[in-house]
Amino acid sequence: MRLGFRLVFVALYCTSVMLFAASLRNANDRIFYKICAARVSQSRLKQQLAGKQLRLENLINPTSVSQQVSQQGNQPIKQQIKPIKPIKQIKK
């Protein structure tokens, strides 16, 4: 009789240990996935920031400003200045 209880106890113990190990592996996989997703998100944000910094530097850089001024200087004045539409007068 005692041997039967021991056998049942050992079987339940082994089963519970295996279930616990499987749940730990599942939790580990979920955490690993979340870490990988966070790294990808961080990488994308770094790339976006680098692009915005390059655009800002391009706007601030004196050589780009002089290039834009020279490009606008080559255009005729009529294209640079937009005509103002006359305001309609209201009769009283």
- Number of domain units in the chain: 1
Q: Which domain holds residue 16?
A: 2-61
Single pTM value for the model: 0.48
Q: Is residue 86 part of a domain?
A: no
pLDDT profile of the chain (92 residues), mean per 10 = 86 94 91 93 92 83 65 56 58 54
Residue 82 forms part of a structural domain = no
Q: How far is CA 85 from CA 50, 79, 80, 88, 92, in A?
A: 42, 16, 16, 9, 22
User: What is the spatial distance between Cα 92 and Cα 80, in angstroms, rounded to a whole number?
Assistant: 37
Question: 9 is written with which tokens?
Answer: 């106890």
In the block, residue with structure tokens 């200087």:
73
